[in-house]
Amino acid sequence: MKDFLKIMLASALGFIIASIIFSLIAMIFFFGAMGSMVGSLSSEKFTLQDNSVLNLRLNGPITERTPEEDPFTSLISPDIPTAMGLNDIVSAIRKAKNNEKINGIYLDSRMMSASMATLAEIRRELESFKESGKFIVSYADTYTQTGYYLASLADKVAINPEGNLDLHGLASTPIFFKDALDKLGIEMQIFKVGTYKSAVEPFTQNEMSEANREQVTSFLHDAWSFLRGDIAESRSLTPQDIDMLANQMPLMQTTDFLLSANLVDTLLYETEMKDYLRSLLDLDEDKKIPSATVANMKSVTMKTVKKTDNTIGILYAEGNIVSGSGSANIQDKYMVNQIEKLKDDEDIKAVVFRINSGGGSAYASEQIWKAITDLKAEKPVVVSMGDMAASGGYYIACNADKIVAQPTTLTGSIGIFGAIPNLEGLTKKIGVHTDVVKTNEFSDFGNITRPFNDQERQMLQKMIERGYDLFLTRCAEGRNMPKDSLSLYAEGRVWTGNQAREIGLVDELGGIEKAIEIAAEMANLGKSYVVFEYPKMRSRIDELLNPAKEDLAARTLKEYLGESYELFMILKDIKEQDYIQARIPFNLNIH
């Protein structure tokens, strides 16, 4: 007994000492990280040197906006490429164009991930930069198709002598789960309106419907015509040349082939490319090249119009539309609150509503639509569509005074659906049984362990049809189109921005700058206005102290999963949110 007590006391003491040591180590690590962050925050402000280049290194995902560097993600997963904000990239290029200390751009497009409309925004800024007479040179070991789309307009396109260049066109390869669900004993009960509303197909079919194949073929070819045309013009080729080259799979060809096809200008190693860059800057051999990154350019000020009471607010709405009050995705209560603040701010004379969303909850979309309607009654509202403003994303856009989209934006998809699982087959497979006692006929309505009966199906379908009719009405009134005419372009069909303009769903083609110009004109501001972005982005310290751990987890997961993140979040949202959805097809998987 005595030995037992000794052992117990020794073990307890050892546990206490180990806990104290572990806590001390954790505290040292935490405060060390804090010290590192505070040190970086208090470090010297970047100073732009004469005869500099903008080192436009594009690597990782590009989103609408990003907060300042996330300390947690960089500590936990330092190898994950950090997401870049489109607004920061555009701002850096614009500042470089107007700053006499910067003579050119060194474009280094690595394994970047960006959709077609985002690429169009960046390319337009690069074209504007070239108009200033400054140079753009591009280098890569491997050019992805998205990277090459931007690089093709450079004055000189260089590639590693043993490098690769991908140019293959566009394809959509959606994933279907029907057989997998059948094996699990799960049946998705679908209620929808719209021949082209294909969001439910992955759960009910093993291949595209003919209607879906028709719409995907149409918008892919239209989008490719713009991408192909831009590349051809930049490289002094024809669109037919680009198609012919894409059909030869340049990724598998030699760099001599790339040279002979005029896809690149020269073969250089990176050290040789830097020597070439020095020659453009008239620098001595081996002298360090003065440069600035996108992050550096945040601290470089521009000559701007003197601050006035005339402000244009840019309101960003990015992600899935869901019910809630948080800032992740587009949560209706949070977004309505932001819209009401803009409405009540007398200094804000017009609002650009920047939307990048494939939709989501029909109920949440209606709430945001109403808030935009109230805002529009007070001041001009111009929608700027990003990569996607479809289904619920179009719902919240349709009532704006003007709608601006990129030619390759995906929009429309006017339609709704309900998807409710029936797990009866699964429960039988695993030997789980349920029973029910109820007071009224529909007391157990929505029980996912049994299928809907005929009466329940009819009620749900009628509910979906009423929702579709409301969606159609909102769009017809917002676009000032007869409902019958609009219905020809609805039925859940997806259009490119270019196609949408031709049928009246969009007013103008262009990027966010075009939308700002229209908003300023509508508000009679002339050139005397300033632009502010909303909602305000949190600083690094705010991110560190922010109790909303889910937002941090979501950002980390997004950077880790890349393009698969959207599919993960869609499944999560449908599980947790409304069953009635106004959403574009689940995963277009365009590449």
Residues assigned a catalytic role:
197, 391
Cβ partners under 8 Å of residue 544, min gap 6: 34, 37, 71, 72
Distance CA 588, CA 89 (A): 26
Residue 382, SS3 per DSSP? strand
Cβ partners under 8 Å of residue 488, min gap 6: none
Q: H or E element: which one contains 187?
A: strand 187-193
Torsion angles phi and psi, residue 219, rounded to 5: -75, -25
Distances from the Cα of 106 to the Cαs of 16, 295, 501, in angstroms?
57, 15, 35
Nearest to 215 by CA among 194, 191, 233: 194
**Are 376 and 408 a contacting pair, CB within 8 Å?**
no
CA atoms within 13 A on the CB side of 58: 35
Q: And the tokens for 95?
A: 């500042």
- Could you report how far apart the first and last alpha carbons of the chain are, in Å? 72
Query: What's the one-letter identity of residue 388?
Result: M
Distance CA 408, CA 496 (A): 5
Distance CA 94, CA 101 (A): 13
Q: H or E element: which one contains 59?
A: strand 52-63
The reply to whether omega before 535 is within 30° of 0 (cis) is yes
Residue 244, SS3 per DSSP? helix
**Are 418 and 464 a contacting pair, CB within 8 Å?**
yes
Give the strand pairing for 359-361 and 580-583. antiparallel
In order, the DSSP letters of 121-180 are HHHHHHHHHHTTT-EEEEEEEEE-HHHHHHHTTSSEEEEEEEEEE------B-----HHH
Torsion angles phi and psi, residue 544, rounded to 5: -65, -40
Distance CA 217, CA 34 (A): 52
Nearest to 578 by CA among 392, 395, 419, 361: 361
Distances from the Cα of 336 to the Cαs of 265, 318, 327, in angstroms?
51, 14, 11
Angle (CA) 553 554 560, round 5°: 90
Q: And the tokens for 550?
A: 């889910």
Beta bridge partners of 391: none
Q: Is 274 exposed, middle or buried (0-12, 13-18, 19+ CB in 10 A)?
A: middle
Q: And the tokens for 324?
A: 């809630």
